[in-house]
């Protein structure tokens, strides 16, 4: 493999194009995890920050994805920007963000979303919709006239990439696949057959 360009700078460029052109949620990514059993699961998350230290998302710490990451702290993330005919695949270990980062992001959420974080036992069985609505109302009353603090079970994760693949659609299914792999010496780049 040859010396690589900077994959994080390339992601910045592609993400800027996606933000300008993608119809909805350019920050939406499929997040794949696997817990103790090895059974993979995938769901959509919203990336809220990215940079040299990784790709950050926030969630309920009691969710299925958090349980998976507690048992196996590795994950994969996929951005698919259909209007640009591009994908970015990212793999690597996942770390918890610091409390001050989770607090700062939580404060940017809408009040109803903050209250929802208190009301929801994310990924747990729900007997009926009314139970969730009652819990939401109870949280609303509890924090009436006050700032809504971040629940102790709500935090963020950062996927630290050690592999990033940039996929571009090409004619005749001769797609371009650029793979960046991180080592102690930095990034190396190569191509993959489509």
Question: If DSSP states are collapsed to H, E and C, what string results for the chain?
Answer: CEECCCHHHHHHHHHHHHHHHCCCCCCEEEEEEECCCCCEEEEEEECCEEECCEEEEEEECCCHHHHHHHHCCEEEEEEEEHHHCEEEEEEEEEEECCHHHHHHHHHHCCHHHHHHHHHCCCCCCCCCHHHHHHHHHHHHHHCCCCCCCCCCCEEEEEECCCEEEEEECCHHHCCEEEEEEEECCEEEEEEECC
pTM of the entire predicted model: 0.91
Residue 192 in this model has a pLDDT that exceeds 60: yes
Residues 163-185: tens digit of each pLDDT = 999 999 999 999 999 999 999 88
Distance from C-alpha of 125 to C-alpha of 31, rounded to nearest angstrom: 21
Residue 57 in this model has a pLDDT that exceeds 80: yes
Label residue 142 by pLDDT band (50, 70, 90).
very high
Residue 4 in this model has a pLDDT that exceeds 80: no
For residue 23, what pLDDT is reported? 86
Catalytic residues: 173
Domains parsed from the chain with CATH numbers: 2-110+151-192 (2.30.110.10)
Quick one: tokens of 97? 């963000």
- Is the CB of residue 178 less than 8 Å from the CB of residue 164? no
For residue 2, what pLDDT is reported? 43
**Percent of the chain whose pLDDT exceeds 70:** 98
Distance from C-alpha of 30 to C-alpha of 91, rounded to nearest angstrom: 12
Residue 117 in this model has a pLDDT that exceeds 80: yes
Average of per-residue pLDDT across 39-48: 97
Residue 5 in this model has a pLDDT that exceeds 90: no
């Amino acid at each position: 493999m040859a010396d690589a360009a900077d994959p994080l700078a390339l992601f910045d460029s592609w993400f800027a194009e996606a933000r300008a052109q993608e119809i909805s949620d350019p920050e939406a990514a499929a997040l794949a995890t696997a817990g103790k059993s090895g059974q993979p699961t995938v769901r959509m998350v919203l990336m809220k920050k990215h940079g040299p230290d990784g790709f950050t998302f926030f969630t309920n710490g009691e969710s299925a994805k958090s349980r998976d990451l507690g048992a196996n702290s590795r994950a994969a993330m996929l951005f698919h920007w259909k209007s640009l005919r591009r994908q970015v695949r990212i793999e690597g270990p996942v770390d918890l963000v610091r409390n001050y980062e989770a607090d700062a992001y939580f404060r940017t959420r809408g009040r109803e979303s903050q209250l929802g974080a208190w009301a929801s036992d994310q990924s747990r069985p729900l007997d009926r919709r009314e139970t969730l609505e009652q819990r939401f109302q109870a949280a609303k009353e509890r924090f009436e006239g006050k700032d809504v603090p971040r629940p102790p079970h709500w935090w963020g994760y950062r996927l630290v990439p050690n592999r990033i693949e940039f996929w571009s659609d090409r004619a005749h299914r001769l797609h371009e696949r650029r793979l960046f792999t991180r080592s102690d010496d930095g990034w190396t780049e190569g191509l993959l057959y489509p």
